[in-house]
Amino acid sequence: MSAATIPLPLDLTFESHLFGTLTVPRQDIVTFPDGIPGFEEYQRFTLLPTSAAGLYWLQSVQEAALAFLVVECRRIAPSAWPAHPTALAIVTLPAGRGPASANLQAPILIDPVLTTGRQLIAPESAWGTTHAFDLTALVPAA
């Protein structure tokens, strides 16, 4: 049997420092052809939902230690990137007390049909790199 006729497994299993061994359907892998700025060598990621609405982990399937907390831009700034319903912002958590912040100036755009993504760096954007928001507002009440 030639290599061309061997079907790929439907699921992909990989390691994550945050979540241990994970198995996700191959169709849930998002390819970043150019990588993410600063991490260009890692091009394949998956979105892992959290218990909070619109909050995900963007986990590399190639590097167990590489994961970004991301939030849907529309959840924290409805007028930011309205033409891109899948626009995500990388979240920075404060070292101490204080609000989380999101980089709305450089959103991650994901095409759900092609399962490709890219980080759009918009230096002329009205949005900043440290847009403060209340992370607890996204978490469902107990």
How would residue 43 be classed by pLDDT, with cut points 50, 70 and 90? very high
- The pTM score is 0.88
- Tens of pLDDT, residue by residue over 4-15, are 677 767 899 999
pLDDT: which is higher, 29 or 125: 29
Local structure of residue 93 (DSSP, 8 states): -
pLDDT: which is higher, 142 or 44: 44
Q: What is the mean pLDDT of residues 115-133?
A: 91
C-beta atoms surrounding 63 within 10 Å: 17
Task: Name the residue with tokens 């891109």.
Answer: 84
Flag whether pLDDT at 18 surpasses 70.
Answer: yes
How would residue 124 be classed by pLDDT, with cut points 50, 70 and 90? confident
Where are any strands of DSSP class E within 61-119?
Answer: 67-72, 87-92, 100-102, 108-111, 116-119
Lowest mean pLDDT segment, chosen from 20-29, 82-91, 103-112: 82-91
Q: What is the mean pLDDT of the chain?
A: 91
Residue 140: predicted pLDDT: 79
Cβ(106)–Cβ(87) below 8 Å: no
| % of the chain at pLDDT higher than 70 | 94
- Tens of pLDDT, residue by residue over 82-106, are 878 789 999 999 888 888 999 999 9
- Domains, the chain: 3-138 (2.30.290.10)
How far is 117 from 21, CA to CA, in rounded Å? 24
